Structure 1
Amino acid sequence: MPASKPPARRAREASVAPGADGAPRAGRRPRQGAVDAPAALLSAAARLFAEQGVATTTREICAAAGLNAGAIHYHFGDKDGLYRAVLAGPIEAMTAEQAGFDDPSLSLRDVLRRVLMPFMTEDISADERAVMQIFLNEMQRPSPVFTQLFRELIAPIHHGMAQVLCRHIGIPAPDAAVHQLLYGLQAMAHDYCLSRSLMELMTPHWLDEPGQMEAVGERLVDWGLALVEHERRRRCLA
């Protein structure tokens, strides 16, 4: 399976600047060589939110992006709208790659590939590392913006995947053990995305080898299959 583009990079490539109401804002096509204001704001905001948290001011972000103080209001409505866009882009790109994981015709191996492999990115830019830092901060103390996005975009994937596991284990509905199994499967892949810096400290350059992330992802899929089979057998013996 070919390596995926990093989620934040895919989001930037596909991004459309929203207006104050969240809908894409119509406007003239930017002149050749003109600054891509939404992209500049997203990049500056990701870096500053990662370094300073949500206390970062709109003036600081606009200054870092090289834009006037009204740019955030024009393109994103307000600071919360910009913060939501910084967080939502990678999540939406990730869930788009995971779409269809609950297709009953897929084998469990293919389901796990579709859910886990989008986390296995070959390279991570400075902006993407900044977004990962924001996600780590949010995991410790979720903000209202992140909580809403979590409920809208992430929770449905979790609950859908829990139903898929039930189908393969042979039970009618998920229980605490199924959710625990799913948290374990997700955590294996999350670490290679969110904890990459720590891995690089522990084993320098290990993940730099061409094709290494794809190989690691396939190994995680194998381990995931073993965990699901263990849970199925445990229930048969109970």
Structure 2
Amino acid sequence: MAPESIPKPTGAEEVRAAVIEVAGRHFAKVGTRASLRDIAAEARVNLGLIHRHIGNKDDLLRAVLESRSQSGLQIVESTADPSDAMSEIFRATIANGLSVRTLAWLLLSDEDRDKFPVQFPAIEELKRRLGAGSHIDLIGAFALTYGWTVFGEQLVDAFGNSPDNKSDIDERLALLVGRLVSQPITPEA
């Protein structure tokens, strides 16, 4: 649908949701260089509404990351088995890797590094469920999730796979990250 055919958001919650969705794409694409004016235009809202309902650009960045963080926590809370939860987080991250790309921008920018979040509720809940002995396995699962989100397409190509095979590879990796947190790996003595 053409942007003009999409109704403009009305009310604080609709405006907030539309702006956060659009801002997520912009931050993932260009980091904190994203323009509030461009975000407002694509979200079909007045720039002043961003300031009224969310705040400044840093507030918007925090809102985008918080929204994605809450999505991860909802996956964990709705999934009894940590292995299944990790597989679902992988699938959701691959489907919408915008927050991972935004986090990468923040880490790569010396001036924006301080905007990197310090709390990760989904990770905290998984750590609690798995116990102290499984933290390395969980780190590995998230490293694979985050790395694949950023470099997956290039790795598919580097290994000579057809881009058409990526969805099959995604699913196999989703199952792998789940196994990482279900079978604690202990170093051999």
TM-score normalised by L of structure 1? 0.57
The sequence identity of aligned pairs, in percent, is: 19
The within-5 A match list for 1:45-56 is 45-56=23-34
What are the residue-to-residue correspondences of 1:30-49 with 2, within 5 Å? 33-35=7-9, 36-49=14-27
Q: Is the 8 A contact 2:18 2:43 kept in 1?
A: yes
Residues of 2 paired with 1:69 and 1:160: CA distance? 41
Determine if the alignment matches structure 1 residue 193 to structure 2 residue 172: no
Whole-angstrom distance in 2 between the partners of 1:70 and 1:216: 43
The residue matched to 1:77 in structure 2 has which SS? Answer: coil
Distance 1:206 1:42, change over 3 A: same
The C-alpha deviation readout for 1:113-139, integer Å capped at 9, x for no partner, is 223432124973xxx354432122134
Paired residues, number: 175
Answer 1 or 2: which has greater helix percent: 2
Task: Please list every run of 5 or more consecutive structure 2 residues that lacks an aligned counterpart in the other structure.
Answer: 1-5
Indicate which of 131, 136, 146 corresponds to 1:164: 131
Amino acid at match of 1:207: K
1:26 aligned partner: none
Match of 1:217 in 2: 174
Q: In structure 1, how many angstroms separate the alpha carbons of the residues matched to 2:93 and 2:56?
A: 34
Work out whether residues 42 and 86 of structure 1, in 8 Å CA contact, stay in contact via their aligned partners in 2: yes
Paired residues of 1:48 and 1:56 also in contact (CA < 8 A): yes
- Aligned CA-pair RMSD: 3.4
Any stretches of 5+ residues in structure 1 without a counterpart? 1-31, 167-177
For 1:1-238, list aligned pairs within 5 A: 33-35=7-9, 36-99=14-77, 110-121=81-92, 124=95, 128-141=96-109, 143-147=113-117, 150-151=118-119, 153=121, 156-157=124-125, 159-160=127-128, 164-166=131-133, 179-202=135-158, 203=161, 204-209=163-168, 213-226=170-183, 228-231=184-187, 234=188, 237=189
How big is the shift at 1:145? 3.8
Larger radius of gyration: 1
* CA–CA separation in structure 2 for the residues paired with 1:219 and 1:37: 38
